[in-house]
Amino acid sequence: MFNVVKVKDYEEASDKAFEVMKEFIKPGKVLGLATGSTPLGLYQRMVKDHKENGTSYKDIKSFNLDEYVGLPISHPESYYAFMHRNLFDHIDIMEENAHVPSGLGEDLEGQAKHYDEMIDNDPVDIQLLGIGSDGHIAFNEPGTPFDSPTHVTDLAESTIKDNCRFFDNDISKVPTQAVTQGIGTIMKAKNILLIATGANKAKAVKDMIDGPVDEACPASILQKHPNVTIIVDEAAASLL
């Protein structure tokens, strides 16, 4: 069931997302976090709230959606580094409670299985999501089975192009694989908060909300989730 909240622009979307998220920033809660441009405004508001109001993350756990394969965590574009730079280093979450899947190691599939086991032990109360221009959620590209667990995946050509901006606009520097929570994993979250802003998301938003539930648009599966809030700005809502 979708609760679609239409706002004017990115700033308003971030304000609204913070309002929703704030209800879950409480001891014992488990947050599902995302990277990309979309959550940055929300993370700034979470940091400001922590600094100004003392809201604590000491008893909160988090699980990130995904990580590139093969990038050392010291690489500025690794999602581990992204999360530390934009959120974890500025709040009081404990390092051992802030989980980001690892894209390094001998047994990535085994590690992915372990990641799902950790999530099963600490179910996510609210999962934050962005959406790709091709309708992907996390790195679940079109065609990914709806019941997929956390797994290693190839990135779609369009996603590699979209993410090129983070790698000196040099396509050869963009990793081609990632470890990602599966769609099945994401659907286990008790609540979902998806933010979509900008005209390049309009088609994906339309397909997610009004299209058939079809693996061609991974986000369309959210129609089957009982508690989804979708925050869209005017540009992303333009086809609704």
Positions annotated as catalytic residues are 66, 134, 136, 141
Please say which residue, 26 or 191, places its beta carbon nearer to ligand F6R: 191
Q: Residue 53, SS3?
A: helix
Q: Which two tokens stand for residue 135?
A: 């309708």
Sheet with 66-68, edge to edge strand ranges: 66-68, 177-180, 151-154
Select the span of 112-120, 128-136, 147-155, 214-222 touching ligand F6R (CB under 6 A).
128-136
199, amino acid identity: A
Pairing of strands 151-154, 177-180: antiparallel
Q: Residue 29, SS3?
A: coil
Select the span of 46-54, 109-117, 129-137, 217-225 touching ligand F6R (CB under 6 A).
129-137
Q: Least distance in Å: CB of 202 to ligand F6R?
A: 13
Please say which residue, 56 or 133, places its beta carbon nearer to ligand F6R: 133
Contact between 32 and ligand F6R by CB under 6 A: the answer reads: no
Please say which residue, 131 or 221, places its beta carbon nearer to ligand F6R: 131
Q: Which residues contact 61 (CB under 8 A, 6 or more apart)?
A: 29, 30, 31, 97, 98, 99, 122
Select the span of 33-41, 102-110, 146-154, 219-227 touching ligand F6R (CB under 6 A).
33-41
- How many C-beta neighbours within 10 Å does residue 178 have? 26
| Options 21, 31, 35, 108; binder of ligand F6R; rule CB under 6 A | 35
Select the span of 126-134, 149-157, 169-177, 202-210 touching ligand F6R (CB under 6 A).
126-134
Q: Least distance in Å: CB of 109 to ligand F6R?
A: 19
Contact between 100 and ligand F6R by CB under 6 A: the answer reads: no
From residue 28, alpha-carbon distances to 1, 42, 93, 123, 124 in Å are 26, 21, 12, 11, 11
Please say which residue, 50 or 201, places its beta carbon nearer to ligand F6R: 201
Contact 66, 181 (CB under 8 A): yes
Site for ligand F6R in 130-159 (CB under 6 A): 130-132, 136-139
Contact between 65 and ligand F6R by CB under 6 A: the answer reads: yes
How many residues sit close enough to ligand F6R to count as binding (CB under 6 A)? 14
Contact 36, 130 (CB under 8 A): yes
Q: Residue 96, SS3?
A: helix
> Residues in the site for ligand F6R, rule: CB under 6 A?
34-38, 65-66, 130-132, 136-139
